[in-house]
């Protein structure tokens, strides 16, 4: 009888520890708490080029993450990329003429959407479209621009 | 030449037979599962035998794997000046790969061998036939609780392994090597995804749990009832579990990542 209780105690402790470990992995190690579900509103923006922007990339304003990208799609009729993002409802005072640009974190970092505040008195509401957007910088295009301008300079000389 | 071909054909045929037998065995176990759930005491005892008694080896291995991961990761990341990403590197490696796989391998060595030799000895000492004589189905009474115990233990052990590993990585990375504590945790939380990383790791360890437990009870149950047969069954358990876990791991990873 005594041994059975020890077995049961040990098993209970083990299962409890396993669940605590899973809890630790989901809450401390992942971004579980910033997962959808919480209140927010959706914004849409069109870009010529989104670079390597992905679902769940951050949307930030002044460097603070205020939301996440929920989908990146290609609009076949307009020939543009359409990005939907969900903004935390705490930030409901963003002027509706703010512009969105695709920026890069660090040198090797992933890409994110940076919002730059505009001056309009009205704020974005659910399902609004961001009118002013700036595409991701593509390294090859930058380099070719630079090379072409160099070539033109040397032609003039 | 002809001899060789015949041998190969024979080996393939034998392998397929064993594989088929193990699948039929799995069906018989699954058929016995509902009845076994009515006697949770038996399962608790097996969770104790294969889970609780493996805790020490899993915990200590996890801690040291995490510590060495932090040392190696720091060494490589320092060349790019990206030591803040140490937390991400360690956590992703542990949660996605090392946790489930190393736990399954250790489980095969610690619990799988115990299962196989225990059932094999029951077979060798005619205990299983004795049960059949008394109209007790040895699969329901002996095999099913051990199988279920293994399946319950494995994901929990893998989670404990990963958690201990991250703790070990923190110990070496933050405490010893002086990586910034804030960026260690926050970069980890930024990059590690609940669904893609943690849940896929749990799914993997669940599948490995099925494979490891099934192989152990199958080899034990079908061992040749001699001292040599039991020892061979135990060896085969470890070898086959290690191989099938590593092969399954590749297939599961390919499916979960979906880029192959």
Enter the ipTM.
0.76
Give the closest of A20, A29, A58 to B91, CB-based. Answer: A29
Measured between alpha carbons, how far is B32 from B221 in angstroms, rounded to an integer? Answer: 15
pLDDT at site A108: 61
Contact criterion met (CB below 8 Å) for A79 and A111 = no
**How close is the nearest chain A Cα to the Cα of B139, in Å?**
23
pLDDT at site B248: 93
- Pairing verdict, β A128-130 and A80-88: unpaired
Beta strands in A53-122 (DSSP E): 58-61, 64-75, 80-88, 99-104, 111-116
Contact B190 A35 (CB under 8 A): no
pLDDT at site B228: 92
Long-range contacts of residues B41-44, Cβ cutoff 8 Å, at least 24 apart: B41/A4, B42/B141, B42/B145, B43/B145, B43/B148, B43/B149, B43/B152, B44/A7, B44/A8, B44/A11
Q: What is the pLDDT of residues A49-106, one digit of tens each?
A: 888 787 778 888 888 888 888 888 898 888 889 999 888 888 888 888 888 888 887 6
Total CB pairs under 8 A between chain A and B: 80
The separation between CA B58 and the C-alpha centre of its own chain, rounded to angstroms, equals 11
Contact criterion met (CB below 8 Å) for B99 and B159 = yes
Paired tokens of B149: 């115990």
Q: What is the pLDDT of residues A102-125, one digit of tens each?
A: 888 766 667 888 888 888 888 888
B259 phi and psi angles, rounded to 5 deg: -120, 10
Give the closest of A4, A21, A30 to B159, CB-based. Answer: A21
Contact B163 A35 (CB under 8 A): no
Q: What is the mean pLDDT of residues A13-35?
A: 80
Contact A7 B162 (CB under 8 A): no
pLDDT at site A109: 65
Residues of A with CB under 8 A from a CB of B: 4, 7-8, 10-11, 13-15, 17-22, 24-26, 28-32, 35, 56, 58, 108
Residue to test with chain A: of B39, B45, B52, B81, most A Cβ within 10 A:
B52
pLDDT at site A36: 53
pLDDT per 10-residue tile (average), chain B, 260 residues: 89 91 91 85 88 91 95 90 85 92 94 93 91 88 91 94 94 89 82 83 94 93 91 93 94 80
Residue of B nearest to A24 (CA): B163
Give the closest of A11, A17, A26 to B44, CB-based. Answer: A11
pLDDT at site B8: 93
Alpha-carbon separation of residue A23 from A26, A100, B54, B159 (angstroms): 5, 36, 20, 9
Chain A environment of B259 (Cβ under 8 Å): none
Contact B51 A8 (CB under 8 A): no
Measured between alpha carbons, how far is B90 from B94 in angstroms, rounded to an integer? Answer: 6
Chain A environment of B152 (Cβ under 8 Å): 15
Measured between alpha carbons, how far is B159 from B179 in angstroms, rounded to an integer? Answer: 25
Alpha-carbon separation of residue B117 from B91, B109, B217 (angstroms): 36, 12, 9
Chain A environment of B44 (Cβ under 8 Å): 7-8, 11
């Amino acid at each position: 009888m005594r041994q059975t209780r020890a077995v049961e105690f040990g098993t209970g402790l083990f299962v409890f520890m396993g669940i605590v470990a899973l809890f630790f992995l989901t809450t401390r190690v992942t971004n579980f708490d910033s997962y959808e579900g919480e209140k927010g509103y959706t914004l849409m923006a069109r870009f010529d080029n989104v670079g390597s922007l992905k679902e769940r990339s951050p949307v930030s304003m002044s460097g603070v993450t205020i939301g996440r990208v929920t989908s990146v799609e290609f609009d076949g009729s307009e020939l543009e990329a359409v990005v939907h993002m969900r903004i935390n409802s705490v930030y409901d005072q963003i002027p509706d003429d703010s512009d969105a640009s695709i920026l890069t974190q660090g040198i090797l970092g992933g890409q994110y959407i940076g919002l730059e505040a505009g001056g309009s008195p009205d704020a974005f509401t659910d399902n609004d479209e961001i009118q002013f957007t700036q595409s991701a910088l593509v390294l090859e295009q930058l380099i070719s621009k630079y090379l072409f301008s160099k070539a033109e300079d040397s032609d003039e000389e | 030449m002809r001899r060789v071909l015949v041998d190969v054909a024979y080996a393939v045929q034998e392998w397929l037979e064993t594989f088929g037998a193990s699948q039929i065995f799995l069906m018989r176990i699954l058929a016995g599962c509902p009845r076994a759930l009515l006697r949770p005491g038996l399962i608790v005892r097996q969770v104790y035998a294969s889970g609780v008694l493996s805790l020490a080896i899993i915990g200590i291995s996890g801690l040291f794997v995490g510590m060495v991961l932090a040392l190696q990761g720091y060494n490589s990341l320092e060349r790019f000046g990206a030591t803040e990403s140490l937390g991400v590197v360690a956590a992703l490696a542990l949660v996605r790969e090392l946790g489930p796989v190393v736990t399954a391998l250790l489980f095969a060595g610690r619990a799988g061998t115990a299962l196989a030799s225990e059932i094999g000895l029951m077979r060798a000492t005619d205990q299983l036939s004795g049960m059949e004589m008394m109209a007790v189905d040895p699969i329901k009474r002996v095999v099913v609780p051990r199988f279920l115990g293994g399946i319950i233990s494995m994901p929990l052990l893998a989670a404990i392994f990963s958690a201990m590993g991250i703790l070990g990585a923190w110990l070496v990375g933050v405490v010893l090597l002086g990586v910034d504590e804030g960026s260690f945790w926050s970069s980890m939380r930024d990059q590690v995804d609940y669904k893609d990383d943690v849940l896929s790791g749990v799914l993997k360890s669940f599948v490995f749990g099925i494979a490891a437990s099934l192989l152990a009870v199958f080899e034990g149950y079908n061992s040749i009832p001699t001292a040599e047969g039991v020892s061979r069954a135990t060896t085969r358990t470890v070898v086959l579990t290690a191989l099938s876990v590593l092969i399954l791991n590749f297939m599961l990873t390919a499916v979960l990542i979906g880029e192959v």
